[in-house]
Structure formats: C-alpha cells, structure tokens
Structure 1
Amino acid sequence: MHPELNLQLMDTHAGGDVSRIVTGGICPLPGATVRAQMEYLRDEADGLRKLLLNEPYGIPEMSVDLLVPPSNPEAVIGYIIMEVMGYPIYSGSNTICTATAVLEAGIVPKREGWQSFMLEAPAGLAKIDALVRDGVVEAITCGGLPSYIDTYQTSIHVPAIGDVTFSIAYSGGFYALVDATSLGFSLNMDEERRLSECAYHIIEAIQTERGFSHYTLGDVGPVPFLHFMGPVEQLSDHFYRSRSATYVHPGVICRSTTGTGTSARLALMNYEGTISPGDRLETVSLRETGFIGEFTGVRQEGPHEVVENTITGKSYVLSRGDIIVNCDDPLIDCRGLTHILTSAHPE
C-alpha cells in the first residue's frame, strides 16, 4: 500500500487554453535558477507533467504551470511550463494564466486599476501589467519574447499534401508559419481535426529535413509548433486582425491562438514591412477567442532583426482544489513523481 498523496491546484484558462497551476504539494526543486529547476524537473521528475496531462487527471490539450521560488529578486514568484511537447521556456497563454492565479491566490495583492509586477519564467523575467476592476482581473499584458524570422518563404514536399511553403520564426520556440488559405482552410471549428492532421505531416517533414538553432540559445530541439495564418484585415490605422490556429506536436490544436504564435506573426509582419512599432494585431482562434499582440520596438541582434512585443489577454479561474494521487490505481504511473511530492515526505 502506498500513502495518499495530494497536489493543490488552480485551474484557469486564457482564450480556451486550460492552464493547471500547481500551487502546492511539490518539494523545493534543486537548481539556482528557474531554468535549472525546469531542467531538473524535465530530466529527473517528468512524472508530474505526465500525471497532470494524461488520464485520469487531464488531457494533452492542457498545460501545467508549477509555481517555484524565483532566483531573481525582482520577481514575486517563478513558474515552470509543461506541455504535451515538453518544457517550453516561455508561453503567452501560460503567463497570462499564471499571473492571474498569482493575483487570485493573494501572492500579489489585488489593487484597483493597473498594477505591475515581475514573474520569472525559464526564459527569464516576464513583466506583468494587470488591470483589476471591482476585484476582477480583467486583462493581463505580458512581455512577449524577442521574436525574429529565421527562414523566409521556403518550401518542402510533404507526402499526402504536396509542396508546402512556410517561414520559420522564433518567439519562445520555433514556429512554422503557414498560409491557411493556400492549403484550403478558412480556420473554422469544423476544420479542427483536419488542421491537426495536416500540421502533423508538415512538422514531421520539417523535423526530418532539418533543425534550427537560436542565435544565443543554440539547439533548442526540433520545431514543435505550426501556426496557420488567415488573411490579415486592417481595421484602423494601427490595428489589424487575423484568424489563426496554433498546432503543438504531436497532435494538439490549441484552443487559443497562443501568445508565442501571435509574437511569431508580429515578427513575420515586420519582416514583410506591413506593420510599424505601435501597431497591434488581434489573432482570433477557431473558438472566436483572441489575444492582442503589440509591436513595441525592433533591434538588430547579429543577423536578425528582432521584434519586441507584448501580448494582452484575459484568464478565467475554473476551479481551486486538491487532487488525490493514488499510486495503487492502475491508471496512474507514479514513476518520476513521488520523490518531489511533499506528502510523500512526512516531517
């Protein structure tokens, strides 16, 4: 018989993407930085990610964010992002959800109007601007990672699809950017399964053909993301809108358009000369939810013109509570997990 174990959670969503915030039940992780703690979790305790993203507790379309002590004194708390593809160093939707959870949990006291604080992601500090009205967190604006175009308008032959033209952006992860219309998609809900199947084959082909390297981080793994781009509408002098869908390998179409996907779009629009600093782009998902990305500046980093940006969205709290981890349950795999659960280590 195994002891009863439990985790404290707050479930949230932004744009439809559910982020499960782990607020308690995990031992302090080794590592002098949030990035090092992430690497320990990835290499030595991946059981937490698997537990919360698989049945009976979750589904692969969800994300998990573990709150951890920050290493940077400017940050109020750190967070480690876990998804079906692994451990991204940054995510806009997860940051929006984590910032909301930090306010709702009282880690940062709510104040009416705008307030600012810092979180620490594995990628580094994330500046948060939060709008609170009548005690409700109405909007979160977070810094998007500096984003750039690595490869512009190249093509690849994809079995069962044909030749596909794509660009590659980096915005916290490498994204294949694909024109949805050229593949016959209008980006509506009834296309969700076909979008996933199409993206799966494209990403498989790209991963087989080549890899991509970040100009400072080096090899960050195979391309995990694809962003389907709809036509861009100009709604006013400095505001644009585009239907969008983000795919995470293997097999997940995100409910939201994703913050990093929106940042990647801003990088492409800057590369093509269609937007200027101060312009905003609203990306709209299959479920009619949206994030707003603002192009705030540009700088040269080696061979790349790097776009600075922010992402704005709203997160909703779905539930607060504990989950019971019963390692005698045949549906639960506790390998790579019990050594980091506080309830497995009684005082």
Structure 2
Amino acid sequence: MRLSYLDYHTCGEPVRIVTAGYPELTGATILDKRRQAREQHDHLRRAMMLEPRGHAGMYGVIPVKASHHDAAFGVLFTHNEGYSTMCGHATIALGRYAIEHGLVPAVEPVTRFAIEAPCGLVRLACEVNSGKLGTVTFESVPAFVQVRDRVVDVPGLGPITTDIAYGGAFYCILPASRLGLDLFETPVARIVEAAGALTDAVRAGPAITHPTEPDLGFLYGTIVTDEAGRDETSFNLCVFAERQIDRSPTGSGVTARMALDHAKGLIGPSRTRLFRSITGGAFSGRVLGHADYPAPGAVTVAVGGTGHFAGEGVFTIEADDPLGWGFELPARFAEI
C-alpha cells in the first residue's frame, strides 16, 4: 500500500495533503463522504496521522470531489482522533496548494475560489504577486454564539464558567484566569490538562446541537485565551480532538472568537484583530457582517494567514508490518 502526500504548515501547524493512493469516496454529499471515510477507510487516516509516519499533533487533508456546484473541490480534515468539520489553518495552506498545483488557475493580484468543507462552502481570496503566493484569506461559514456563561462542574477544577461559540466547529472559549491559570506563566501541560478536562465535562453534559446539520453538533475543543482588551492582539491556545495542541491560532477558533466578541459588543464589522498562537504565528480576523442563518446573531468572518510548503513523499505500508497502520503510545504497558 502506498500513499503520496505533500506537507505544508501554517504557523507551525502541519497540513498533510494526500495526493494519491486514497480510494475515491462516492457519497452524494460532503458529509456522506466524511462518514464513508470514517467508517470504511479510517485505517488510512491512522497510517497518515499517527506514528510511525506522523505524531500526536499531526493534521491532514483528504481532497475529494465537491458536491456543491460553486466549489473547485471538496476537503475532509483529519487529526489524531478523527475528522474535523472545519479547519482554518488547513484552508489557508490549501489556497497555496490549489494554485501551485493547478487545481484553480492563478489570477493576479487576487485569485478567488471556493472549497467545500464538511461545515459548508468556504470562499478564499489568495494574494498572488509575480506567481508567488502571499496571504490567503477565507470567508467563514455563518458563525454564532451557542451559549454564554455556561457553568460546568469540572472534576478537579470545580464550577467553571465558559462561553461556547461556533466557527465551523464548536469551541469552549474562556480566559485562562477562569481556570485559575495564567496563559503566559502556567506550564503548557497544565493548560492542556485543564482545557481537556473542561472539554470532557461539556461533552458529558447536555448535547450541543447545530441548527441545521446533526453531524456538526459536537464540541471540538477548548480555546484558552489571555486577558487582552478589544483593540489588542490576543494570544490563545486551542486544545482540540483528544488533547491535541494547535500550533496555529486556529482559523475556525478565530472565527468563533470573533463571533463571540461581536455578540458581546467588543468589536464591530470591518474591524481587524490579530490573534497569535503558541509559536507566535498570527491570523487576522474581521467580522464581515450579519449572516442570514437560523442562529441568533450569526455573522460571517474573514480570517487571513500564510501557509508554507514543507516537503513531499510517499508512504509505504508493508503487509506484514504490525504497526504499519499507525499507533499511539499506551498510557501504561498493561494496555499493549
């Protein structure tokens, strides 16, 4: 078994795009294809994302045929646990990939096209100067606040107050101080532990529902923020899936944060804010306006950043390799 791939990164967060060797998905919709990938071909995700070829922080893309007539192509997003519904950092890298590999024709100074993600149609604007790709900005699907000031009893932490917002995926969003932590001084491992515990507690409680699509109704992760004011650059750490750390500011997370700040009256339309990640990498966020959508206060958001090419290759999976389809280290030897 052989899988060809291209590696990119956005602010240090990996984007592994499979280019050959993956079977064609035949579902009628993008969510059908996502279910088919999860139920029939998950061994391929594991082989690409997990050790010995990947690691616990790996992220990937499976390009597929779009079902939306406005999309140049469709995409499925993969990580250490499964399949996301939206990924901003990967979308930014996909802008460069699509133009450099001829999936869409390059138009200077800005190339515009759309891709179909599981959360819906995402429109991209890619800066092109003398053939070189610059900033890629995407227009989000409708983003909204699901609940404000939800109090969650978190084992080991007690009652924690968090907001939950949607930017293509659902996130808990709260400053580190609500967890009794300091984003800049607390060891990252403790922040990850607390964020993961909050995510687990919310997932164990009342179900999160999406207003139009049941497959999108789940909590993806927790975003722990600093205490920056409305006009300041803000730092955050996103802990998603199964305690995976996003090296980027998280594009769908920036979308959700902008929707939340807009709902709180902290930022108006056309006001740009910068968000930085644990690597120092930055995304811009700007509320474009209200969205016609069955969720109160829904808005669309423009998120911008830059992707970089990191390498390419072919993975081989030998038939007699007991670890060839990927593995995760167990917590204890008894689990071998």
- Give the structure-1-normalised TM-score: 0.88
Tell me the equivalent position of 1:131: 127
Task: Give the one of 45, 63, 68 matched to 1:72.
Answer: 68
Residues 21-69 of structure 1: CA deviation (Å, up to 9, x unaligned) = 1111222211123332222111211111111111111013111101122
Matched, 1:323 2:315: yes
Deviation at residue 221 of structure 1 after TM alignment: 4.8
Matched, 1:208 2:204: yes
2:279 and 2:260 map into 1 onto residues whose CA distance is 24
Aligned counterparts, 1:145-294, within 5 A: 145-188=141-184, 191-218=187-214, 220-235=216-231, 240-294=232-286
Deviation at residue 7 of structure 1 after TM alignment: 1.3
Task: Give the one of 58, 62, 74 matched to 1:62.
Answer: 58
Letter of the 1:41 partner, please give it: A
Taking only the aligned residue pairs, the percentage that are identical comes to 28
Verify the 8 A CA contact 1:148 1:305 in the aligned structure 2. yes
Matched, 1:113 2:109: yes
Give unmatched runs, 5+ long, in structure 2: 327-336
Any idea what SS the aligned residue of 2:55 has? Answer: coil
Bigger mean CA deviation after superposition, 296-305 or 41-50: 296-305
Structure with the higher fraction of residues in strand conformation: 1
2:115 and 2:293 map into 1 onto residues whose CA distance is 25
Verify the 8 A CA contact 2:9 2:93 in the aligned structure 1. yes
2:238 and 2:163 map into 1 onto residues whose CA distance is 14
Deviation at residue 190 of structure 1 after TM alignment: 6.7
Letter of the 1:8 partner, please give it: S
Tell me the equivalent position of 2:334: none
Letter of the 1:304 partner, please give it: P
Verify the 8 A CA contact 2:137 2:303 in the aligned structure 1. yes
Tell me the equivalent position of 2:332: none
Deviation at residue 267 of structure 1 after TM alignment: 1.1
Bigger mean CA deviation after superposition, 189-198 or 39-48: 189-198
Letter of the 2:196 partner, please give it: Y
Bigger mean CA deviation after superposition, 36-45 or 117-126: 117-126
Relative to structure 1, is the Cα distance of residues 209 and 32 closer, same or farther in structure 2, using a 3 angstrom cutoff? closer
Residues 186-238 of structure 1: CA deviation (Å, up to 9, x unaligned) = 43487321111111111111122221111111363542210112123455xxx
Any idea what SS the aligned residue of 2:37 has? Answer: helix
1:120 and 1:256 map into 2 onto residues whose CA distance is 22
Relative to structure 1, is the Cα distance of residues 38 and 302 closer, same or farther in structure 2, using a 3 angstrom cutoff? closer
Q: Please, what is the CA RMSD of the aligned residues? A: 2.0
1:303 and 1:317 map into 2 onto residues whose CA distance is 37
1:220 and 1:299 map into 2 onto residues whose CA distance is 18
Relative to structure 1, is the Cα distance of residues 52 and 303 closer, same or farther in structure 2, using a 3 angstrom cutoff? closer
Deviation at residue 278 of structure 1 after TM alignment: 0.6
Give unmatched runs, 5+ long, in structure 1: 335-347
Deviation at residue 279 of structure 1 after TM alignment: 1.1
- Give the structure-2-normalised TM-score: 0.91
Bigger mean CA deviation after superposition, 118-127 or 57-66: 118-127
Deviation at residue 75 of structure 1 after TM alignment: 2.1
Relative to structure 1, is the Cα distance of residues 332 and 185 closer, same or farther in structure 2, using a 3 angstrom cutoff? same
